[in-house]
Structure 1
């Protein structure tokens, strides 16, 4: 369940990244530049010293007031004043435009994404659908592979525990193997069913030297050792399994179509030979008699011939 939520979160982040447009990227960069020059936490509204509910005229008035203070002609020796003045004009234009202000207000209320770093990924790299899908496949397959390794380690520990218990039951605590085979029963522990009743599970095993076998009810024996556990492989991850399954289905469908074509050819030949045989049989006889077939009921009895008037 935790893995499901993890993958769902990745999908949501990928969808959100794809939903950002060029205008959003420009707002992200502008927010970073404003905080870098005017102080961390500075917003477009706080820089203009107006509330977020300010009208367009109030924003225009605040812009004129601040632009006079930051005008390069009044601050000839101030470093970076031209960039600040130009940036102020862009901020004012965004807030005075209904659509762009709506975009900014969304991030103003919900916050600008923090994981973008320096802004390089927004301005120069926008992930497409192919990249996002490849990324998700890689991440989910890697997580599944790690889980396979964890399960493999647990299986090895369980096998070692079971085989050690079988050898102890067969040869004693000194573990000195005797001649021939010895049948033992190993307690696998208790489990509770839906009604709450506890049931002890036993496993019949055969020990022969250092080899331990699982004994089936029909008398078959299966060696149990480290090779019994399923080793983790990339081929067992969900994407590789899906690709192999689709490939097999494609080959199966192709083979089925080939067999159907062969069967159709045979059936056509049978029909042709059947027709030829009927025609040959009917040669020299009355065609109406040759074509007459007795009518049979569902029960298999022949119906009496009834003359039509």
Structure 2
């Protein structure tokens, strides 16, 4: 539980730290508008004609020069002249304020693009294959975490059953230890929780066990099943569903290949047996044909007489 809470907390902090605020959206809109009017790839710096390391005085000087060039009075009759002039003032204001740092951040990492209903980060857009690989790895990792939690729980339960069986055989303080085999009954609910208390043998909720030296067995249908710390399955990535699926497919392919080879071997053996049985049949047929031809010859000779 603590692990999942930690993951959720980190995700929330990450999302909060990298969330887009109102200023970001204004920059996105302005970048899109500048590229639409001045050409794709136009930056705030290239539009003003300054370098990315230009200081505020240099930016102000470039703005004054550019504003005279784009002033609506000098561009009468030109479409969107007023919008371009107003847009230039906003660009200059951003580059001369704290918004410049935010703009530089997005310019280096890639400004999100508008896709119908909102902005999407365009620098890296994972494809279907990448998403499937990520989800496979994530689900396998979570499954492994569940396996670890289950293993710890089962291991604690096995240890408790072993202790209860030994307490039932040797006493609550384990002072009557012996190598002789002793049958005992253990409550499946795992009581007692308090040291020194005796177990409550409730009908239908107790199991028979055998204690013999250090070994403890579960008695079921006259058979003994050893109970030790090797009973719970240890967590391993080979038990996660992607690896298990691959192993199952490999086993399936090998099984089909084995069946195919067996069929081929059976057909070959049948063919060999058929060849061996056809030889005497051919000899018999040949002998019959020779006998018939001789008989026919005798008849023709007798007829001529």
Match of 2:83 in 1: 67
| 1:233 counterpart (236, 243, 259) | 236
Using CA pairs below 8 Å that are at least 6 residues apart, which structure has the higher relative contact order? 1
- 1:71 and 1:284 map into 2 onto residues whose CA distance is 111
Distance 1:199 1:64, change over 3 A: farther
Given candidates 207, 223, 226, the residue that maps to 1:223 is: 226
Deviations 1:231-269, CA, capped at 9 Å, x for gaps: 000110000011111112222222222222221111111
User: Given the superposition, is the C-alpha separation of residues 282 and 35 from structure 1 closer, same or farther in structure 2, using an over 3 Å criterion?
Assistant: same
Going from structure 1 to structure 2, the CA distance change for 1:282 and 1:171 (only over 3 Å counts) comes to same
CA shift digits 1:46-84 (9 cap, x unpaired): xxxxxxxxxxxxxxxxx9696277164xx5995359xxx
* Partners of 1:128 and 1:187 in 2: CA distance: 55
1:70-125 deviation digits (Å, cap 9, x = unpaired): 164xx5995359xxxxxxxxxxxxxxxxxx99x64x34xxxx67xxxxxxxx2221
- 1:144 counterpart residue number: 143
Change (3 A) 1:225 1:284: same
Question: Per the alignment, in what secondary structure is the counterpart of residue 93 of structure 2?
Answer: coil
| TM-aligned CA deviation for residue 36 of structure 1 | 4.3
Q: CA deviation at 1:276?
A: 2.1
1:227 partner SS? coil
How far off is 1:178 after superposition?
Answer: 2.4
CA distance in 2, matches of 1:243, 1:256: 20
Measured after TM superposition, the shift of residue 211 of structure 1 is: 2.0
TM-score by length of 2: 0.54
**Correspondence 1:155-304 to 2 at 5 A:** 155-176=154-175, 177-189=177-189, 200-218=204-222, 220-285=223-288
Partner SS for 1:79: helix
What is the root-mean-square deviation in Å for CA atoms of aligned residues? 3.9
Unaligned runs of 5+ in 2: 1-19, 34-78, 96-112, 191-201, 291-305
**Are the counterparts in 2 of residues 187 and 200 from structure 1 also a CA contact under 8 Å?**
no
**CA separation of 1:200 and 1:174: change in aligned 2, threshold 3 A:** same
Q: Which has the larger radius of gyration?
A: 2
